[in-house]
Structure 1
Amino acid sequence: DAYLAYYNHRRPHMALGGLAPLEFLAKMQAESVPQSQMY
């Protein structure tokens, strides 16, 4: 259902700092340290 897809994946969520889940995921991936750089 298109509404559920929007509601769950594209609308801003207060728990994610006002970001949509897909935006939050992209932000976390960009900020994360690659495992090859971890000790």
Structure 2
Amino acid sequence: MKLDIKDKLYIVCGATGGLGKGVALALLDEGAKIIVIARDEEKL
């Protein structure tokens, strides 16, 4: 499936673990730009 997400901006909540972290890493692998949000800045 072609999603055409390269160079688009995404906001990912809960990015320090679990699904949020997995989504953030997958988006980066595909060339997307991301903004991550988490409760614990040190874990980012």
Flag the structure with higher strand content. 2
Q: Same fold (TM over 0.5)?
A: no
TM-score (norm 1): 0.29
Larger gyration radius, structure 1 or structure 2: 1
Q: Which has the higher contact order (CA 8 A, sep 6+)?
A: 2
Flag the structure with higher helix content. 1
TM-score (norm 2): 0.26
